[in-house]
Structure 1
Amino acid sequence: MILNLIIMRPAVVYGVGAMGGLTPRLICGRVYQHLKKKMEFLWTKDLRINTVHVSDVTRAVWHTANWYVSNDKQGSSVIFNLADENNTDQEAVNTHIRAIFGIETGFQGTLVSQFAKLNMKEATEDINEEHLAPWSEILKEHSIKTSPLTPYLDQELLCNNAVSLDGTKICKTTGFSYEKPKMTEESLREIIADFQELGIWPKD
């Protein structure tokens, strides 16, 4: 049996409505603003976490479906990576977090991170414990009773796993173009503003 199949492999998805992706890092930024402390992530600034805007993901799905049908690709399987041209790394994200929250940021470096890697489960629990309680305090202070947003970071997100994708094949093959080719401070602020309008992120 031959399947009509298009496989989309997105990088880290961010944008309005995306609760995963970069959103937990934004929440961590708000937590460290509240704590008046420097925010430091594991590993180094050049760890790749390539990104793609959620609007480009939805556009790509519709675009490739139309391309597939109009070019008589039925009966074949195609695979496309989705990643903007920003080649985003941890420092690129932290640069915007510094600007948005007015905090210092940094990285633990390889030595400390390798030590944490020896017992990543315990390290993950410690990191999340440091973030979850202050976030609850922030929500309480702003009379937000419930919020689906969390600074909780899965263990796999704390490992030294780069997300590095070439997202140009879809452009060359189907004529698709990314409307959000680079992650910007404004695009991250839009995420926060949307959550504030929904009443699940503090307005301050």
Structure 2
Amino acid sequence: MSQKPRVLVLGGLNVCSGQLLRYLVAPEGKPDLLVSPLEVPAKSCAYSLDFYVFIAYASNLLASVSYLGSRVRAVFDNPIIEYRQANLAIPNIVSSVFEPPSSGASELSWDIVFDFTGEIRYERSDDHHLQQTAKVAQLLGQEAAKRKVGAYVRITHPFYHTSTSDKPSKEKDRAKGLTKEHEGVKPASVRGYWWHEALRALAAIQGLNLVIVRVGAAYGPQQTFGTVHSRIIVGRVYQYRQWEMKYLWTPGLRYNTVHAWDVAGAVWEVGKWMLATGRAQADEIAGETIQHFPAKAKDVEEKAAAFLDTKIEPKAPLFNLVDDGDTTLKDIGEAISEVLELDFSFYGMLTNASMSIKKDLQDIANETNDEHMESWGELILNSSPPVPLTPLTPFVDTHYLYKYSVAYSNEKLKRIIGYKFKYPKFGAEQVGDIVRSFQEEGTWPN
């Protein structure tokens, strides 16, 4: 291996991989890059590359027509990054994606691969999630093992049923209810089921130097995915209507957060650790059993069995990634209300109880979205300056209304990897940064 790792980044431009690129590659081409210098023959490229990062995206959309914040677009303008559109559900294309850049008479392999792929949209079918998340991950992992990639970092999201008990008020009890990596938490929803099956499939691949990073509720400037951002955008609607912003459930319900910049920093440190450690030793140090959780529907379980024997429960290194703030719904609501100058409270017990027994939340979601979208349309039309092409939307999935928590312990990551957070706690300062980042690029209605 050269002095600095050669890096391949797969997918996730609408999640956090853009922030990883910013972390690795300075937009101005400064000499503090973290990736490996490569000598690329002039005949293979229109320009000379001093450093090389390659990104492929599991989509039929080019970066030029996908939403990328201006800060990430600046990174893509740098010639040291090669972007390529690729449908990663096709084996031959996956093989070509893993072809390393040439260097003289020999070919170089990838040292670290970061896999951000997967369908993040909630209301999609089993078949869609199976094809676009689980099978894509399996194909990529098999190719990485074949190519003997030094470290394969799979990023997965908080699509799990963690404890919905309130955060303890006493400091000495704070660890209670936080899920540790060895605890078997069940996937939440169809989306979560297939994201988890993707982990099981990857962990079962012989020779794959896999390490899994399970992130919390990620947020950050010019990011559009995630409940934190949805709540901020919905807050703008309430500000416009001069309504009180009210949340369901309880103030102490955990929704542990992590800044996108810390996602980038932490996965980079995890990747380097895996590269130096190797799978066998990493399993001994940080390995956890990736168990199968039977689906309620018989046909889904049959699809899972056809995909990978459900009796297989392999082991793989696994780390939770959340900040030190142990964020709750109250923390999120108070931070948003402070920045947007809103009144903020929680619905009472009777409302929460009626929501708990409601069989079909779709009607409530539809009603809420009608109100939000009508107000958002007025905001867009009346904004000065206008923001006709904003990617922001106050539309919320039905999932948004469920009693759902993100409750993870980050003790293992800090103990083994030694990562220190740049943004250890979510608060009003971070909400302000997000709002200003959208104002900066002209996508926030004023």
Same fold per superposition (TM over 0.5): yes
Q: Find 1:72's aligned residue among 278, 288, 306.
A: 278
Matches for 1:93-104 after TM superposition, within 5 Å: 93-104=332-343
Contact 1:171 1:177 in 2 (8 A): yes
The CA deviation at 1:202 is 2.2
Amino acid at match of 1:174: I
The CA deviation at 1:128 is 1.6
Q: Distance in 2 between matches of 1:126 and 1:46?
A: 27
Tell me the residue number matched to 1:187. Answer: 430
Tell me the residue number matched to 1:136. Answer: 377
Q: For residues 79-117 of structure 1, give each alpha carbon's deviation from its aligned partner in whole angstroms, at most 9, with x where no partner exists.
A: 111111111111111111221111111112332123234
The CA deviation at 1:31 is 0.7
Q: Find 1:11's aligned residue among 208, 216, 219.
A: 216
Tell me the residue number matched to 1:121. Answer: 362
- Counterpart secondary structure, 1:140: helix
- Counterpart secondary structure, 1:86: coil
Percent identical residues: 32
Tell me the residue number matched to 1:174. Answer: 417
| Structure-2 change in CA distance of 1:140 and 1:32 (3 Å) | same
Q: Distance in 2 between matches of 1:42 and 1:124?
A: 13
Higher relative contact order (CA 8 A, sep 6+): 1
The CA deviation at 1:163 is 0.9
1:92 has 2:297 as partner: no
After alignment, is 91-100 or 102-111 more displaced?
A: 102-111
Q: Find 1:162's aligned residue among 405, 408, 411.
A: 405
Q: Distance in 2 between matches of 1:195 and 1:11?
A: 22
Q: For residues 112-132 of structure 1, give each alpha carbon's deviation from its aligned partner in whole angstroms, at most 9, with x where no partner exists.
A: 123234131111111222211
After alignment, is 86-95 or 70-79 more displaced?
A: 70-79
1:48 has 2:254 as partner: yes
TM normalised by structure 2 equals: 0.44
The CA deviation at 1:186 is 1.3
| Structure-2 change in CA distance of 1:129 and 1:114 (3 Å) | farther
Contact 1:51 1:87 in 2 (8 A): yes
After alignment, is 135-144 or 102-111 more displaced?
A: 102-111
Q: Find 2:266's aligned residue among 55, 60, 70.
A: 60
Amino acid at match of 1:19: T
Paired residues, number: 203
- Counterpart secondary structure, 2:213: strand
Q: Distance in 2 between matches of 1:184 and 1:44?
A: 18
The CA deviation at 1:24 is 1.0
After alignment, is 114-123 or 47-56 more displaced?
A: 114-123
Return the structure number with greater helix share: 1
Contact 1:16 1:194 in 2 (8 A): yes
Q: For residues 10-46 of structure 1, give each alpha carbon's deviation from its aligned partner in whole angstroms, at most 9, with x where no partner exists.
A: 1100111221221111111111111011111211211
Contact 1:116 1:123 in 2 (8 A): no
Name the Cα RMSD after superposition.
1.5
Q: Distance in 2 between matches of 1:198 and 1:19?
A: 13
- Counterpart secondary structure, 2:246: strand
- The runs of at least 4 aligned residues of structure 1 exceeding 4 Å deviation read none
Task: In structure 1, list runs of 5 or more residues that go unmatched.
Answer: none
TM normalised by structure 1 equals: 0.93
Contact 1:47 1:162 in 2 (8 A): yes
